């Protein structure tokens, strides 16, 4: 069984920063990519950023230059540093880990006040 534990969400003023973490544990082998998605009320879940085992990163256009994804392979942990947060970044952020299957975290709420 695989568990993903997310942390770091919360309430922040526009222009502020937050750092999300997601640690994978359990029977998980050969992690390929790790990523962050988000879902705002009434909207579909969308990719924010992901990172391969080799460190190749992909970012959604709306976060380029503001968010940075990184990972610690030894700890099976992925991070999302979010700077210059905007009101429209308010959403539930989900961690995703791909190995043999896709695994999803429970989500962490990020609320940006204007």
pLDDT tens-digit map of 6-23:
999 999 999 999 999 999
pLDDT tens per residue, range 10-69: 999 999 999 999 999 988 888 899 999 999 999 999 999 999 999 999 999 999 999 999
CB half-sphere exposure, 19, CA atoms < 13 A = 7
Nearest to 31 by CA among 63, 59, 4, 69: 4
CA atoms of 17 and 52, how far apart (whole Å): 24
């Amino acid at each position: 069984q695989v568990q993903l534990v997310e942390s770091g969400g919360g309430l922040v003023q526009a222009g502020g920063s937050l750092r999300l973490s997601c640690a994978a544990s359990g029977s998980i082998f050969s992690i390929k990519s790790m990523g962050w998605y988000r879902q705002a009320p009434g909207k579909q879940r969308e990719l924010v950023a992901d990172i391969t085992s080799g460190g190749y990163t992909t970012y959604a256009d709306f976060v380029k230059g503001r968010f940075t994804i990184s990972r610690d392979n030894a700890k099976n942990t992925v991070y999302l540093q979010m700077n210059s947060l905007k009101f429209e970044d308010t959403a539930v952020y989900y961690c995703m880990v791909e190995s043999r299957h896709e695994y999803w975290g429970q989500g962490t709420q990020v609320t940006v006040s204007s």
